[in-house]
Amino acid sequence: MRFAGRRVYLAVVLMLASPPGGASGQTLCDLFSIPTRTLKRWRRWWREDFPRTSFWQSVRERLMPPVVIAQLPQSLLERFDASEPTDRLTQALRFMAPTSTRAMTK
């Protein structure tokens, strides 16, 4: 994923910004020094655009229990079994690696 596309970097940021229990929008904006508009766009991508991708359509049934779309990306992270949060994030990013290609995001 060395030359991953914009969506993968977006995935990394949002996965990091989605701790268990969630965080307020303002807290995340302050933490990452991003405009509220940007955070809303990222959340919309996860909850509206990502679930419509051909990648998600092809893999969603492999995850048990099913991922709760309204709780993405945290719900996706919870499907990976790892004792350390960094290992869980690594597993999730490897799982999502195909989204870095344009063909998989249509």
Q: Judge whether 1 lies within some domain.
A: no
Tens digits of residue pLDDT in 29-55: 777 777 888 878 888 888 898 899 999
Distances (CA, A) of 59 to 19, 50, 55, 56, 86: 23, 12, 6, 5, 22
Residues 6+ apart with CB under 8 A from 55: 96, 98, 99, 104, 105
The verdict on residue 59 lying in a domain is yes
Task: State which residues form the domain around 70.
Answer: 6-101
Q: How far is CA 4 from the centre of its chain?
A: 14
Among residues 38, 16, 15, which one has the least CA distance to residue 26?
Answer: 38
Q: What is the pLDDT of residues 52-83, one digit of tens each?
A: 999 999 999 999 999 999 888 888 888 988 88
Segments of the chain assigned E as strands: none
Q: Is residue 106 part of a domain?
A: no
pTM of the model: 0.70
